[in-house]
Amino acid sequence: MPQSLAVWVVIFLAFATASLPFLLQRHLLALPWAQPGEPSRPALLRVFESLVFFALLLGWWGLALYWIGDAYIGADPASALVFLAKVVGVLALAVLLLAYPGYRYRSVSVGKPVIARLLEVLVLYLMVGTIGLAFETNIGNAFKQGWEFYAITLSLYLVLAYPGFVLRYLLRRQHHGRRRVVAK
């Protein structure tokens, strides 16, 4: 995969995922504490489910690094197609994994607090970063990054998430606070 294409794919993924926690009301993470409107369940069950979910998420990170990072791309179209299938497979597994928590509450209206949205932004940032690292490893020039790199990329990811934040919290409140004046 050419380096410029890999960079544009990561930028597109970051742009597509950054605002998702603010635009979707469905949960993307199985959190260990009760959410507003959630049916009552034993706390131990919630914690266990959350641990299993995050273990699967860690497994996804390892799988993404292994499948994409160690994939061979030759000059023939078949190897490029296999690489593309691996990338699509990793993305499909991510979608399935992140869809599960929302699927649990499909028949109940469960609230989503700000802290849950921010945790979702952080997890999506790590997932996009994992795909970027896997692409970099595949190209062959994976560099060790310091804390400055992660601080800057997280800041850029938060900037990409800002439009979703504005739509969720700033514009909606503006419309609710406005009163109509009816002329007599």
- Decide if 157 contacts 18 (C-beta within 8 A): yes
Q: Is the pLDDT of residue 66 over 80?
A: yes
> CA–CA separation, 161 vs 156, rounded Å?
9
13-40 residue pLDDT tens: 999 999 999 999 899 999 999 888 888 8
Predicted confidence at residue 162, as pLDDT, reads 95
d(CA 41, CA 38): 8
Token pair belonging to 89? 């497979």
AA letter at 138 = N
Report the 10 Å Cβ neighbour count for 34.
13
d(CA 137, CA 179): 56
- The number of helix segments (H) and strand segments (E) in the chain equals 7, 0
Question: Could you tell me which residues come within 8 angstroms of residue 17 by beta carbon, excluding any fewer than 6 positions away?
Answer: 124, 127, 128
Q: What are the φ/ψ torsions at residue 91 (nearest 5 degrees)?
A: -65, -40
For residue 3, the model assigns a pLDDT of 83
Q: Global pTM?
A: 0.87
